[in-house]
Amino acid sequence: MKDTVKKYGEWAVITGGSAGIGLAFAHELAAKGHNLVLVARGQKALDASALKLKAQHKIDVVTIAMDLTAVNAPSDLYEKTKDIAPGLVVLSAGSETTGHFTKVALNAHSNLINLNIQVPAALARLYGADMIQRGRGGIVFLSSLFGYQGVPLVANYAASQAYILTLGEALHVEMKPHGVDVLVVSPGLTKTNMPAQMPVDFWKMPITKHQPVKVARVGLRALGRKASVVPGYVNKVFAFENRFLPRLWPTKMFGFLLKNALYKDQKPKLLNAVARRS
Ligand SMILES: NC(=O)c1ccc[n+]([C@@H]2O[C@H](COP(=O)([O-])OP(=O)(O)OC[C@H]3O[C@@H](n4cnc5c(N)ncnc54)[C@H](OP(=O)(O)O)[C@@H]3O)[C@@H](O)[C@H]2O)c1
């Protein structure tokens, strides 16, 4: 899709716009002529990204440093940006937790549910209503290949991505008649800070690794044409095999691969010892 400014309007809001996949979307949208609002916690990274984007693409960039998990943060963000009538919203801020479900701190689980589920749902509700009023707009959700089945050791993360996948597909159908395009992008492993900070040696897993720019390009090509997209052929096979296999098989397979790929020195901290039955 070439003229996204004409189709959706000038301004795009990107949560998680200072790094990784969100920043890649920022560059792709800037190249199409969109002005951007970048949202993340760290002001320094936001400023650095904004500087580059402005210099490379001659666009306007506004940065908003906020923790989206703070009380009322989605409403505050919406209030701060509603006057520019954002035509596109990319919901890329997200977090993960790795380890046996009972080994991960309860507040880490709750924060993840807030950032990965409640925040994007609230923002889609707030911006989506205005887009429907205007009869045009686009919302891009970031889910994951892990959202296509339960995944042991990242159980809460995978479940949050399943929520986003289902929510986005339903909203695609609900909002299409009102001129609003909703898309869920479900990347596999992508070279960003997120997997780099996980206690997992992903080289031990038989999965392909993509650059964030590929994810953003595939996403923007699919926006307006599809409800959901999985970048990469191998990832597509992983996502769609679930339709033909018994439901628990991919869950067991990913659980096995992930456990095998955990860094050895991290295992005692992340795994529960299995009590042997006599
Ligand atoms: N990378 C992968 O392999 C992969 C695969 C599948 C799906 N995904 C999904 O893609 C999305 C983007 O992931 P990524 O790999 O690009 O992550 P990333 O490189 O870690 O970037 C995350 C972005 O979100 C911001 N952020 C994190 N917590 C925030 C908070 N509480 N409030 C506001 N902003 C926050 C970060 O900036 P600050 O830290 O400064 O706040 C950063 O800009 C996520 O939803 C992730 O689940 C990633």
Mutate to test the pocket of ligand 1, among 47, 142, 228 (most ligand atoms within 8 A of CB): 142
pLDDT at 19 over 80: yes
Give the H/E segment covering residue 170: helix 155-175
- Tell how far the Cα of 277 is from the centroid of ligand 1, in angstroms: 41
CB 83 within 8 A of CB 254: no
Given this model, what pLDDT does residue 268 score? 86
Domains parsed from the chain with CATH numbers: 7-270 (3.40.50.720)
Type of residue found at 131: M
Q: What is the rounded distance in angstroms from the CA atom of residue 43 to the CA atom of residue 39?
A: 9
Q: What is the rounded distance in angstroms from the CA atom of residue 232 to the CA atom of residue 128?
A: 29
What DSSP character marks residue 118?
I
What DSSP character marks residue 200?
B
Mutate to test the pocket of ligand 1, among 92, 165, 184, 191 (most ligand atoms within 8 A of CB): 92
Given this model, what pLDDT does residue 225 score? 97
CB 108 within 8 A of CB 156: no
Q: Report the nearest-CA residue for atom 7 of ligand 1.
A: 144
Mutate to test the pocket of ligand 1, among 27, 41, 68 (most ligand atoms within 8 A of CB): 41
Q: What is the pLDDT of residues 226-255, one digit of tens each?
A: 999 999 999 999 898 888 899 999 999 999
Residues with beta carbon inside 6 Å of ligand 1? Answer: 16, 18-22, 40-42, 45, 67-69, 92-95, 115, 142, 144, 187, 189-190, 192-195
Given this model, what pLDDT does residue 244 score? 87
CB 220 within 8 A of CB 114: no
- Tell how far the Cα of 147 is from the centroid of ligand 1, in angstroms: 16
- Tell how far the Cα of 178 is from the centroid of ligand 1, in angstroms: 30
Q: What is the pLDDT of residues 112-156, one digit of tens each?
A: 999 999 999 999 999 999 999 999 999 999 999 999 999 999 999
- Tell how far the Cα of 194 is from the centroid of ligand 1, in angstroms: 7
Q: What is the rounded distance in angstroms from the CA atom of residue 101 to the CA atom of residue 11?
A: 40
* 17 C-beta neighbours (distance < 10 Å), count: 31
pLDDT at 276 over 70: no
Q: What is the rounded distance in angstroms from the CA atom of residue 142 to the CA atom of residue 137?
A: 17
pLDDT above 90: percentage of residues in the chain: 90
